[in-house]
Amino acid sequence: MAFDYDLFVIGAGSGGVRAARMSAALGARVAIAEERYLGGTCVNVGCVPKKLFVYGAHFSEDFADAAAYGWTHDGAGFDWSTLRDNKTQEIERLNGIYRNLLEEPGVEIIEEHARLRDPHTVEFSSGSVTAEYILIATGSWPVIPEFDGSEHVVSSNEVFYLDKFPDKVVIVGGGYIAVEFAGIFNGLGAETTLLYRGPLFLRGFDMGVREFVHRELVEKGVDIRFNADLKKIEVAGEERIVQLQNGDRIDADLVMCATGRAPLTDDLGLDSAGVKIDSNGAIQVDSAFRSTTSNIFAIGDVIDRHQLTPVAIAEGMCIAYNLFGGESRTLDYANIPTAVFCQPNIGTVGPTEEEARSQYPSIAVYESSFRPMKHTLSGRSERSLMKLLVDESTGRVVAAHMVGADAGEIIQGLSVAITAGATKADFDRTIGIHPTAAEEFVTMRESVR
């Protein structure tokens, strides 16, 4: 059978775009369908605008710290519309770059909702096409739980485009998105409350990191309430009245739910093509990202392995080179570095201390907490945490965790060493760069436990 395309991609986020353009560069006939925006969540309502907001939120502390370094100013004010609109302008620029990345190798872009009619046919409002291979890369979508008044909350999608900056914000959730936006709103000047139903946020991260970040956020003025169950939200004019199960009431101008993201598989025609999904909606795939239908593949958030942009990109590379480059690539999900852009930042690679103790017979923990040099003059109480986990049987460093300024930048370099199998002796004989915070990772000599 002759097909219209060698590969049809549904979803033009980071993973889908990488798979499409690399496949086209390898000589394949490729089309991609996207109904919302080129670049997906990361570029439009995720990593990129969030990081820009984090930069903006940090200036409140920078202005305050400047006085200790001899700088004076007449006072600084914050204009929400300037940050919001400059962010949007940058996103539009990136949308254009993604379009060029697709068009240059010859990928056809179809800006419509696409769904499967059968294993080889994709249909949309203006027609249908056939493809030998189909890749689903539709990503994920924020999940807002059902409760009385849930229609009065916003998700991370809407928060980037608020008409008015709120004076008082309630954020519901305990994952990295909730923690990051608590820092953003607090830094931009809003009275910020974070509600989480569990005993401690950032589940899945190292316990020491979680506890350290909690202390730092409280020190910065975020009102954090754990074991807080939301009962309902009422509206009085423009005010949101948040009622908790324990009877507490919080008044807010804005309530944001950051309570997780689910794979976006609605109305894709998966049943028509024999593609099976898990109970959480994630498409079932094997180690080569092949679904239960042999010519249909899936990558990124829609398979719900690691909801991280670089992971989706790496998966997209596997698709392109396996289908059209004659390779048999798989992806090793061990030692994937991660950053959380709360304030201060988290950077981590490798297992948590709790996980490492169950994986290795004997773990040595090297840990240091200190006040960064910058704040010896500013007087700010913010501290940093650095932690190495070492397998004592081999001497290999199996994990590094950090909370502090530029943690993501520092951990990225350490992840190379850990992936390469560096030992604690390798770290010890590495000369530090002085004075930096990062040198602490090569000067910790005695384990703490």
d(CA 90, CA 296): 34
Largest CA distance in the chain: 74
Q: Regarding beta strands 346-349 and 338-340, do their DSSP bridges make them parallel or antiparallel, or are they unpaired? A: antiparallel
CB 143 within 8 A of CB 181: no
**Closest residue by Cα to residue 87 from 184, 16, 17:** 184
Structure tokens that stand for 317 in this block? 């590379």
Q: Could you tell me the CA-to-CA distances from 74 to 67, 79, 106 in Å, in that order?
A: 11, 16, 54
- How far is Cα 47 from Cα 310, in angstroms, rounded to an integer? 11
Output the 3-class SS for 250-282: EEECEEEECCCEEECCCCCCCHHHCCCECCCCC
User: Rounded to 10 degrees, what is the CA torsion of 263, 318, 399, 177?
Assistant: -30
Closest CA to 400 of 440, 372, 431: 440
How do strand 108-110 and strand 30-33 relate by DSSP bridges? parallel
Catalytic residues: 434
Residue with tokens 């989480």: 196
What's the one-letter identity of residue 310? P
> How far is the C-alpha of 117 from the C-alpha of 130, rounded, in Å?
10
CA distance 330 to 150: 41
Going by C-alpha positions, the residue among 32, 39, 83 that lies closest to residue 57 is 83
